[in-house]
Amino acid sequence: MPVRIRVAHLYPETLNIYADRGNIAVLERRAAWRGIGFDHVPVGIGDAIPQDANLVYVGGGQDREQALVAGDLVGKREMLADAVAGGAALLAVCGGYQLLGRFYRDRNGCELPGVGLLPHFTVAGERRMIGDILLRCELDPGEQRTLAGFENHAGRTFLDEGAEPLGQVVHGFGNNGEDGFEGCRIGRAIGTYLHGPLLPRNPWLADWLLRQALAHALGTSPVLTSLDDTIEDTAHRVAAGRARARGGRG
């Protein structure tokens, strides 16, 4: 029985501003190189999220595009909550990360409801936080890793009390430029502002997501064969160097 994972990609036609398809390409190739089947399921406005999805991906869009899908995404709340509660993995980047929070408060103080899947809220900010960013993460106990990306957001996101961030900011702004946290994580679900795109230069996170998706598909936690990541590792070092040299400061 060949091993396969199903990936639900939300709004690929609309939320794709920061090269989100790069993240999908990395997941797909790294699965294929290991003989893992990869079903890419685009999910648009009005479409259902497949119940057997092992991984859900939500990208980012310009303001107009985010507004176009926001209502539909909130309508998918139950399906998303069921998927994540059932152990599917999730990656939401930038706009997708904001939309999955509890609400977004705009400049006039109006609160637009979010999906409420991730324990955070976002407040519109005056100044955009733009630049290279480096995080320190520990998704599995004892395994310290770094993530190098690029951030570009005006929204300032605040985690609820006790919520787990994706990582600690080493260089850059992070969620809000104040508390040193970046992203949000509940179990196998991750939201983050990091794009660039995120996964090509952080292949360990791509593999982490693949392992979570496989664990959901198979019910057991698989060991992935290692790949030649020479170029990826150099790209990571260069990007980390950029964050050190010119990442934003809160």
Partner 1 sequence: MPPCRENGGMRLAAEIALARTVGRLSRLAGRGGGTTLPGKLLVALDPGAVRRLAAELPLGAALVSATNGKTTTAAMAAEILGARHRLAHNRAGANLLSGVASTLLEARGVAALALLEVDEGALPDVARQVAPRTVCLGNLFRDQLDRYGELELVAERWRDAVASLDPSAIVVVNVDDPLLADLARGRERVLRFGLDDPSVARERLQHAADSKYCTDCGSPYAYEAAYVGHLGDYRCPACGAGRPALDVAARAIELDGLERVSFDLVTPEGTARVELPLPGLYNVYNAVAAAALALALGATLAEAREGLTRFRAAFGRFERIAVGDRTALVLLIKNPAGANEAIRTLVAGGSPPVAVVALNDEIADGRDVSWIWDVDFEPLVPGLERLVASGERAEELALRFKYGGLDPGRIEIVRDVGRALDRGLELVPPGGQLTVLPTYTAMLALRGVAATRGLVRPFWERDPAGTDPARQG
Of 29 and 77, CB closest to partner 1: 29
What count of residues does the chain have?
Answer: 250
The residue within the footprint of partner 1, chosen from 7, 9, 11, 18 (CB under 8 A), is 18
CB of 19 to partner 1, least distance (A): 3
Of 51 and 62, CB closest to partner 1: 62
Of 33 and 110, CB closest to partner 1: 33
Letters for 149-168 (x = contact with partner 1 by CB under 8 A, - = none) are: -x-x----------------
Would strands 103-105 and 120-123 be described as parallel, antiparallel, or unpaired? Answer: parallel
Of 39 and 229, CB closest to partner 1: 229
Rg, the chain, Cα only: 17
Single-letter amino acid code for the residue at 61: G
Which one of the listed residues 94, 171, 184, 236 is annotated catalytic? 94
CA–CA dist 63, 46 (Å, integer): 20
Per-residue HEC secondary structure of 42-101 comes to: EECCCCCCCCCCCEEEECCCCHHHHHHHHHHHHHCHHHHHHHHHCCCEEEEECHHHHHCC
The residue within the footprint of partner 1, chosen from 41, 74, 123, 235 (CB under 8 A), is 235
Q: What is the DSSP secondary-structure string of 7-50?
A: EEEE-TTTS-TT-HHHHHHHHHHHHHTTT-EEEEEEE-TTPPPP
Q: Is 94 a catalytic residue?
A: yes
CA–CA dist 100, 229 (Å, integer): 32
Q: Pick out residues in 29-88 that bind partner 1 (CB under 8 A).
A: 29, 62-65, 68
What CA dihedral angle connects 73, 108, 119 and 151, to 10 degrees? 80
Closest residue by Cα to residue 177 from 193, 189, 161: 193
Of 150 and 181, CB closest to partner 1: 150
- Binding segment for partner 1 among 13-21, 82-90, 134-142, 179-187 (CB under 8 A)? 13-21
Q: Pick out residues in 181-220 that bind partner 1 (CB under 8 A).
A: 195-197, 200-201
Q: Residue numbers of the site for partner 1 (CB under 8 A)?
A: 16-19, 21-22, 25-26, 29, 62-65, 68, 128, 130-132, 150, 152, 195-197, 200-201, 228, 231-232, 234-235, 238-239, 242, 246
